[in-house]
Structure 1
Amino acid sequence: MNSVTLTRRKLIQAMFYGAGAAMITACGGGSSSSGSPAGTPSPTPSPSEPEPPAPEPPVPPATMLPLEAGPLAGIGELVESDVDGILIPEGFSIRRVARHLEDPISGLPNLTGLLRDNWHIFPDGGAVFPVREDGGWVYVSNSEIAPGGGVGALRFDRDGTVIDAYRILRNTRRNCAGGATPWGTWLSCEETTDGQVYECHPLGPASLARAHPALGIFNHEAAVADWDTRTLYLSEDDGNGRLYRFRSAGVVTSITGEPGLDLDNGVLEVLEVDGFANGAYQEDLDQARRLHKVRWVPVQDPHRAQETVRAEIEAATGQGAPGTRFKGGEGLWVQTLPEGQRPDIAGSANPLRAVVFLACKGDNRVYALDIDNDQIEVVFDNEQLIGSGEAPFNDVDNIVVGPAGDVVVAEDGDLMRLMVMVPNQPARILLQIPGGGSELTGPAFTPDGSRLYFSSQRGPSALLLPTGATYELTIPEAFRRA
């Protein structure tokens, strides 16, 4: 299996031609209408001033965002590796770095966790953080279990050797996904109806972690931040869920000691696509693939469970609660384009600076939200895969954008693939875990793009129980260049 068709809509282009200026000729004569007496020469006309050029016609608005593929679009066929039978592209390499109930340093069973924390059960969303002091990095990973959830961390040296394992959050519930912040912290999200977002220090200890109830009480899935607009975006894993944003009141000192956004004071809002207010859903996929303007509506009773608040609003008004419905919001990621590489968007006031990607498992769609121009479109869906020879996606989940611009989407269920989205071309399968019955979770690149971490949430543990394993895919240099 090699590719999955991902057809993008062609840009609608219009050519306009300005009309040439009309030539005006002045005439004289005995019966001239100029009013000169007969036989009197008419005044010599002065050269006429050229008319100003016709105004340029308005540029029609774009129907899609000018997104580009990264270098992983060029990967080849998958081959079987010698690590748990995982299929990877030829020329890539893979290793297992941790398993539940195992000491990640020695690789030996560690059932009690007395000397060192073992790798946690049911690993889910994750991220990589560089460590400036020694050139190493940390991979953090949620534990999706209740009770007893939290976040574990693997500390790597500059050569990629695991040198420590520890917890940065303990005793929370169903920690599903989350997101790395621009100021170097990890936001871990509880996937429960009264769930909260916890901010954690990648280097620990767990006692530094803080809950931020101002980010909403709902079935949290993921959270990402855009520093330029002082805004967080949050997804809700619910068939009747919403896409939220939190406009922070300002900047404070974070738990890392670095300046970070104030996550306790601000305004929580939900997104409404034009024409799809109060819980409406974009059923027409062809229309959803075209750019639509959006607006943001304040959340009612943000400090209460939103599932309860929505039910009360619907009972009292007979209509849906504010916000467009997104079916099972999953992974989120903000891609910020470098200065000098921000394309203009026809009909939009601002160039494309930052895009929020949202994956929804209820309809297997990936949305792209243009932050600065308040517009959204579907950029990936299963209908675009028909006829490719590959099975459609089954429950899209976590999403990550690599340093070179590759958009990678994870999949749950029977097929368990990582897919590289490629605009206007077939998508590519980056890897596949055979066997199914699990979730492919936590994809995260190192800052240089040389390694990609991910987990099989119910992969074989140290005791061969289906309780979780985590892997590292090494990416050849040719596929790291932007």
Structure 2
Amino acid sequence: MGPLLPPDANGIQLPAGFTSRVVAVFNEPPLPSQPDFRWHSDPDGGAVFATEDGGWIYVSNSEARDATTAFGQIPAELSAIRRLASRDSLMALSPITNAISGLVNTLLPGGIPLLLPFAGGASALRFDQSGNLIDAYPVQRNTSTNCSGAATPWGTWINGEEILDGYMFECSPLRDGGEPIRLDRFGRKAHEQVAFDVERRAIYHTEDITGEDRFYRNVYTENEWPSNGRPDLTRGKLQVLSVPAGIDAARQGPTPIVWLDAIDDGRPQADVYLPESTIFAGNEGVWFVNGFIYFSTKVDSNVWAIDVANGTIESIYDPTDGPIGSPADPAEPKMMGVDNLSMTLDGEMIVVEDGGDMRAMVLLPDRSTIPLLRLPGDAGGTEVTGPAFSPDGRRLYVSNQRALRNGETVSFGQGGVVYEITMPFTVRVNPPVARAMPAA
């Protein structure tokens, strides 16, 4: 890939040979033939699923915040609202308040901030085998601040709420694919992305709430996660990562890790952190490939790699280490505010920036970086989110979280655009086939 060219008609800077199109915009119907369904605000984490007819589905979370989180994430010491009015009691009001929000947004084309409980959830865009958009619909509602998640190996979407006492949820990416379920065994915390190590029966997940966050996994026995089957997500053990030598040692090279059994009694994890657990500054993306768990920390802009077999961790990208090392354009600023991740089967990593320079970057196995795209907007008010490849490896889906169609940055709850980037080459990916939720 070469350097980024001047902005295209959508305001996106791309290398030569790349093209973009808008596929969804906040408060607009993705399909004119479905005027009653409008795209959500604040698109965040996303994933692609193959479909049995040769097409695919892109699922996107909405990080729209409810009335108790409208002005930012609530840390443990400031969570009086959450303690006086529990999340579970507030959820009972969500069908009414969501209906009011939808009515107001219909009457006011520009939209308003969705400050009523529960304004998050997730929606889906379905494409045929030629890449034509053929359907759009909600897959999860009545949740709040849905940040990121992951496509499960068994074909469903797991995603979490990025609030102090957030839950994880599982839903189908299919229209009428069954009711979502709440997953109580992943801890009450500010959930981010998720990754799966099927061979070792482990699910990894990140937390981002105070800047003093932890890294988690759920582990399962063979009985709880049968070979060639899906795990029983009502079971499993929640564990938290400890790096006894400290993360500064891991910045220098592979450093041993220990997994500790976390306290999992229904209280927010921020209230029951184990003192031996290791603090990471703003955990965001996580991905498993070829025996390694990779995850990003936004505050210090590091990308970490855990060697699962050898039980070690090291930093594989640190902006304080030398130049960016981009063969495409050495003048590009260093990658900062590292957030969502998406990876190919060959270990090429897409890292999107929250802040930084509004880019999606490629972090290569040799640890060099290449700019893939730059979205329009104010890096202090919006971010790049939701990277995911189509099954044919030619298209990348990505969102501008708080932007209008013209690229202008707006407040939370008032914007969001999903783009499809077509590449002049293919990458190797293997997304799961979309499935319905299992029968109760």
TM-score grouping bracket, smaller chain normalisation = 0.7 to 0.9
The residue aligned with 1:266 is 236
CA distance in 2, matches of 1:378, 1:465: 33
Is the partner of 1:452 in helix, strand or coil?
A: strand
| 1:452 correspondence with 2:396 | yes
8 Å CA contact 1:129–1:137 kept in 2: the answer is yes
Specify which of 296, 308, 311 is matched with residue 271 of structure 2: 308
How large is the Cα RMSD of the aligned pairs?
A: 2.4
1:401, distance to aligned residue in structure 2 (A): 0.1
Match of 1:328 among 274, 277, 282: 282
**8 A Cα contact 2:245 2:255, kept in partner:** no
Q: Distance in 1 between matches of 2:6 and 2:24?
A: 20
Corresponding position of 2:81: none
Could you tell me whether the CA contact under 8 Å between 1:194 and 1:219 is conserved in 2?
Answer: yes
Match of 1:469 among 414, 417, 436: 417
Identity value in percent:
40
Q: CA deviation at 1:414?
A: 5.3
* 1:383-437: CA deviation from partner (whole Å, max 9, x where unpaired): 1354753323331110110244321100022511111112446410000013323
Q: Whole-Å Cα distance in 1 between the matches of residues 264 and 8 of structure 2?
A: 53
Aligned pairs for 1:314-463 (under 5 A) are: 321-335=275-289, 337=290, 354-386=291-323, 388-413=330-355, 415-424=357-366, 426-436=368-378, 437-461=381-405
**SS class of match (1:128):** strand
**CA distance in 2 between partners of 1:480 and 1:456 (Å):** 23
Q: Is the 8 A contact 1:456 1:469 kept in 2?
A: yes
CA distance in 1, matches of 2:428, 2:204: 28
Q: Which amino acid aligns with 2:180?
A: A
Gaps of 5+ in 2: 66-117, 325-329, 430-440
> 3-state DSSP class of the match of 1:78?
coil
1:21-63 CA distance string (max 9 Å, x none): xxxxxxxxxxxxxxxxxxxxxxxxxxxxxxxxxxxxxxxxxxx
In the alignment, what sits opposite 2:144?
173
Name the amino acid aligned to 1:180. Answer: A
Give TM-score scaled by structure 2 length. Answer: 0.77
TM normalised by structure 1 equals: 0.71
Residue of structure 1 equivalent to 2:95: none
Tell me, in whole angstroms, the C-alpha distance in 1 between the residues paired with 2:18 and 2:201. 38
Corresponding residue of 2:114: none
CA distance in 2, matches of 1:444, 1:283: 31
Query: Cα deviation per residue 1:423-477 (whole Å; 9 max; x = unaligned)?
Result: 4464100000133231100000112211100000012159978310000111123
Task: Name the residue aligned to 2:255.
Answer: 292
Tell me what 2:49 maps to: 129
- The whole-number CA distance in structure 1 between the counterparts of 2:354 and 2:418 is 15
Per the TM alignment, residue 322 of structure 1 is displaced from its structure 2 partner at its CA by 3.0
Distance 1:430 1:383 in 2: 21
Q: Which amino acid aligns with 2:299?
A: G
Secondary structure class of the residue paired with 2:320: helix
Change beyond 3 A, Cα 1:227–1:302? farther
**8 A contact 2:185–2:264 mirrored in 1:** no
What is the CA-CA distance between 1:324 and the residue it aligns to?
1.0
